[in-house]
């Protein structure tokens, strides 16, 4: 009976982390120099399903998601000609992060809506459990 709440909670946790990564990408959209050297590299979150049991009442029923990795986006950096910038190379080019603002904003809206959907599902499951407890009492 509590499986639905656990599944929704896993989605809430995963989408919350995804929103944190997106916020970090947006905050570093203009960071041309990181402590590791070079411009900031955008990151993305990879979700994996929580394995379903092979037997029992929940056999082959998904059990939610988990963040399996936070990976760097390997797309090329943006090259901007700005010979006055102190970080310009000999040709006057400056490398900027590979953060695509439009993509990040779409991802943020999607993650926000997924978070809200999981929150609504959790609330509905909780209400169902409370109703079941009232029936018994």
Write down the pLDDT at residue 129. Answer: 84
Phi, psi of 43 (to 5 degrees): -125, 160
What are 94-115's pLDDT values in tens digits? 999 999 999 999 999 999 999 9
Calculate mean pLDDT across residues 78-82. Answer: 96
The answer to whether the predicted template modeling score (pTM) of the entire model surpasses 0.95 is no
What are 20-55's pLDDT values in tens digits? 999 999 999 999 999 998 999 999 999 999 887 777
Instruction: Report the C-alpha gap between 137 and 130 in whole angstroms.
Output: 11
Phi, psi of 39 (to 5 degrees): -75, 165
85 touches 76 (CB < 8 A): no
Q: Is the model's pLDDT at 124 over the cut of 60?
A: yes
Q: Is the model's pLDDT at 1 over the cut of 60?
A: no
């Amino acid at each position: 009976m509590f499986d639905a709440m656990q599944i929704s909670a896993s989605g809430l946790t995963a989408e919350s982390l995804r929103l944190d990564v997106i916020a970090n990408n947006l905050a570093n959209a203009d960071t041309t120099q990181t402590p590791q050297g070079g411009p900031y590299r955008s990151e993305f979150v990879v979700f994996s399903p929580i394995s379903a049991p092979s037997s029992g009442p929940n056999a082959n029923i998904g059990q939610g998601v988990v963040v399996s990795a936070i990976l760097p986006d390997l797309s090329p950096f943006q090259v901007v000609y700005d010979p006055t910038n102190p970080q310009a190379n000999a040709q006057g080019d400056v490398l900027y992060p590979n953060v695509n603002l439009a993509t990040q904003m779409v991802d943020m809206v999607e993650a926000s809506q997924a978070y809200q959907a999981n929150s609504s599902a959790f609330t509905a499951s909780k209400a169902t459990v409370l109703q079941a407890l009232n029936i018994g009492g």
